[in-house]
């Protein structure tokens, strides 16, 4: 699975104090790919994303990657415009001189430039999810880790967000947003049916703490059947 141009990760032990979730996780992500992370509740999806975000995982790539992690369940706080929200999410960006321009670029890449001055509380859930993606684009992420970006969305909004994820990896691949480096996305989701068509590959964590990677020997469909066996 270790493709020469891939970003290779390895996590010897995944867990947190009091819970061991998986051992010896190894996988690589092709630059510019959109990858689904699936698994039953409690299997460790969020823990895996956090481990990748916090640098606990050892990573091999051609050059250092800018990793942006977006947690799930962000509230739509009244009294913040989309622009102010994105700026808030860029709390620790070192170079802030061109932040305003980067925000505008991100808004137009996401096709939500008209929502820039709207209050967050007036956005639909799908629009808000795009505003959240605006933070990752403004921060010029190379690897974007999204925890449940489609949670609580209605089917229409869910498909729209997934299509946006798909297109971002392509747009970024053509160097329109993130400079020369393609954007790679790893996202967790329970909405398998909608997520599978947009995913280039699937990673899975089973309830019994096995880590699976789709590939030539394991089709995404077969992987999902092992993740969610019919009782």
Partner 1 sequence: MALFRHKGFLLPLLLMLAVAGGLFVLDLLCGDSGLGPAKGIVLTQIRLPRVLTALLVGASLGLGGAQMQALFRNPLADPHIMGISSGAGLGAAVAVLALPSGALVGLTAGAFIGAFATAALVVLASGKTRSVGTLLLLGIMLGFILSAVSATLQYAADEVSLKRFYSWAAGSFVGNGIRELAVLGCCFAVGALLAGLNARGLDLLLFGDGFAAAAGGRVRRIRSLSLIGVCLMTAAATAFCGPIGFVGIAAPHIARLLSGSSRLALILPLSALCGASVALLADAICFLGPVPLPAGSTVALIGIPVIILVLLKKI
CA distance 45 to 205: 7
**Closest C-alpha to 146, from 127, 119, 120, 164:** 164
CA distance 192 to 23: 25
Which member of 92, 193, 216, 230 binds partner 1 (CB under 8 A)? 92
Q: Pick the stretch among 90-98, 102-110, 155-163, 210-218 that binds partner 1 (CB under 8 A).
A: 90-98
Q: Which residues contact 93 (CB under 8 A, 6 or more apart)?
A: 99, 139
88 binds partner 1 (CB under 8 A): yes
Contact 100, 131 (CB under 8 A): no
Contact 227, 59 (CB under 8 A): no
Facing residues of 35 across strands? 186, 201
Q: How far is the CB of 88 from partner 1 (least distance, A)?
A: 5
For residue 14, give the 3-state DSSP assignment: strand
Q: Pick the stretch among 6-14, 63-71, 186-194, 207-215 that binds partner 1 (CB under 8 A).
A: 63-71
Cα dihedral sign, 135-141-146-152: positive
8 binds partner 1 (CB under 8 A): no
115 binds partner 1 (CB under 8 A): no
73 binds partner 1 (CB under 8 A): yes
75 binds partner 1 (CB under 8 A): yes
Q: In the numeric block, which tokens belong to residue 211?
A: 């880590």
Q: How far is the CB of 69 from partner 1 (least distance, A)?
A: 5
Q: Pick the stretch among 1-9, 71-79, 160-168, 184-192 that binds partner 1 (CB under 8 A).
A: 71-79
Q: Of the two residues 3 and 96, which places its CB atom closer to partner 1 in the complex?
A: 96
216 binds partner 1 (CB under 8 A): no
For residue 161, give the 3-state DSSP assignment: helix
The interface mask with partner 1, positions 117-136, x = CB under 8 A, is --x---------------x-
30 binds partner 1 (CB under 8 A): no
Contact 175, 142 (CB under 8 A): no
Residue with the two structure tokens 């480096």: 181
Q: In the numeric block, which tokens belong to residue 195?
A: 């997520």
Which member of 90, 192, 196, 207 binds partner 1 (CB under 8 A)? 90
Which member of 80, 126, 213, 228 binds partner 1 (CB under 8 A)? 80
Q: Of the two residues 18 and 75, which places its CB atom closer to partner 1 in the complex?
A: 75
Q: In the numeric block, which tokens belong to residue 13?
A: 């032990």
| List of residues contacting partner 1 (CB under 8 A) | 53, 68-71, 73-75, 77-80, 84-85, 88-92, 119, 135
């Amino acid at each position: 699975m270790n493709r020469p141009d891939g970003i290779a990760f390895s996590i010897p032990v995944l867990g947190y104090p009091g819970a061991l979730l998986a051992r010896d996780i190894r996988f690589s992500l092709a630059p510019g790919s959109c990858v689904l992370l699936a698994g039953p509740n409690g299997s460790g999806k969020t823990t895996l994303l956090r481990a990748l975000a916090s640098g606990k995982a050892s990573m091999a790539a051609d050059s250092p990657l800018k990793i942006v992690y977006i947690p799930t369940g962000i509230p739509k706080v009244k009294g913040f415009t989309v622009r102010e929200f994105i700026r808030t999410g860029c709390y620790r960006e070192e170079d802030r001189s061109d932040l305003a321009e980067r925000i505008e670029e991100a808004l137009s890449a996401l096709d939500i430039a008209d929502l820039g001055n709207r209050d967050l509380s007036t956005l639909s859930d799908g629009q808000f999810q795009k505003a959240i993606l605006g933070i990752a684009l403004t921060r010029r992420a190379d690897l974007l880790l999204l925890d449940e970006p489609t949670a609580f969305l209605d089917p229409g909004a869910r498909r729209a967000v997934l299509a946006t994820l798909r297109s971002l990896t392509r747009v970024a691949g053509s160097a329109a947003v993130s400079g020369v480096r393609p954007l790679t996305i790893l996202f967790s989701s329970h909405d398998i049916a909608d997520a599978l068509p947009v995913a280039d590959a699937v990673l899975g964590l089973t309830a019994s703490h096995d880590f699976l990677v789709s590939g030539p020997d394991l089709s995404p469909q077969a992987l999902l059947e092992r993740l969610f066996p019919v009782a």
